[in-house]
Amino acid sequence: MAKVLIDGFNKDIPNDVYHDDREYKSSSVLKTFLKNPREYYGKYILNEPNNMNKDALNIGSYCHTRILEPHLVEDEYAIWTGSRRSGDVWKEFKEVAEGQGKTIITSSQKSLVDTMIREYEASKVILGAHGNEIEVGLPSFFNDGFAEETLCGELEGYKIKTRFDYRKEFDDFGSINDLKTTNVALKSASIEEIEDVCKHWSYELSAALYVDLVEKETGKPHDFYFIFLSKKDYGCRIFKASDEMIERGRKMYKDAIAGLKEAEKTGVYFSNTVEILR
């Protein structure tokens, strides 16, 4: 019997099952509707093809799997060691990989991720208040918890699905630890640059949606951490979402849900109007 998403924590849900589900709405869906209702209509109502940069997506996915689910790497990825993606050998390799449902990673892409992960594994972070500091390895944020965990439920009377990169739960609280790859040179980036990246991708919406749904399910408040790995200078840095960031994201997802409810009720997802300058 094919797996389907249900309310509550869902165990052993493959990526394709999660992404193909249309009963529950993800943070990506809400972000798309909030930013561009016309794009939402084309992508999720008309099922138009996605034109995103596949190489960038593949590198991010490969990095996530290497760190969060290393046991799946061999089953989900095929490494192309040729000098260029053309010719009969490439065509045969591509056909076999796609037939096995594997994502193709080039040797240069693998080398990039190898370097990123070496830097990540060596990175340290200082936790605790002044006078009571403790230094821990950055990889500890992805230990002793749950990787790629799926949770479904309702917020604002609307069916929502979330897929945490990693979640840790303790007696009376928890944390959601989100792994991000970026083209920003993290070793020299200012906090304002990181905040701009988060705003550009509406990461605050995801953070608020995730902590609200998981607290509703578990009864435990969760902190939200962003762990960034740079594809540019291989820097690694960790950031915690502030209360202000969560509140801003909460307003965003509530606005998106309200708009989607109205669109689904009326069948009108966007309007063709000439914008007025003031």
**Which domains are delineated in the chain?**
1-46+128-278 (3.90.320.10), 52-122 (no CATH)
pLDDT beyond 90 at 2: no
The mean pLDDT of 219-243, rounded to a whole number, is 98
Structure tokens belonging to residue 69: 């689910």
pLDDT beyond 80 at 50: no
Band the pLDDT of 274: cuts 50, 70, 90.
confident
Band the pLDDT of 132: cuts 50, 70, 90.
confident
On whether the CB atoms of residues 123 and 230 are closer than 8 A, the answer is no
Band the pLDDT of 53: cuts 50, 70, 90.
low
The mean pLDDT of 224-246, rounded to a whole number, is 98
The mean pLDDT of 138-142, rounded to a whole number, is 97
pLDDT beyond 80 at 273: no
Q: Return the pLDDT at 272.
A: 79
The mean pLDDT of 190-216, rounded to a whole number, is 97
CA–chain centroid gap for 1, Å, is 28
End-to-end CA distance of the chain: 57
Q: Return the pLDDT at 37.
A: 94
On whether the CB atoms of residues 152 and 160 are closer than 8 A, the answer is yes
Q: Which residues contact 182 (CB under 8 A, 6 or more apart)?
A: 197, 228, 229, 230, 231, 232
Q: What angle do CA 264, 269, 274 make, to 5 degrees?
A: 155
Give CA–CA dist 70/78, Å, rounded.
14
Band the pLDDT of 52: cuts 50, 70, 90.
low
User: Backbone dihedral region of 181: left (phi > 0), alpha (psi from -120 to 50 degrees) or beta?
Assistant: beta
Give CA–CA dist 79/93, Å, rounded.
10
pTM: 0.92
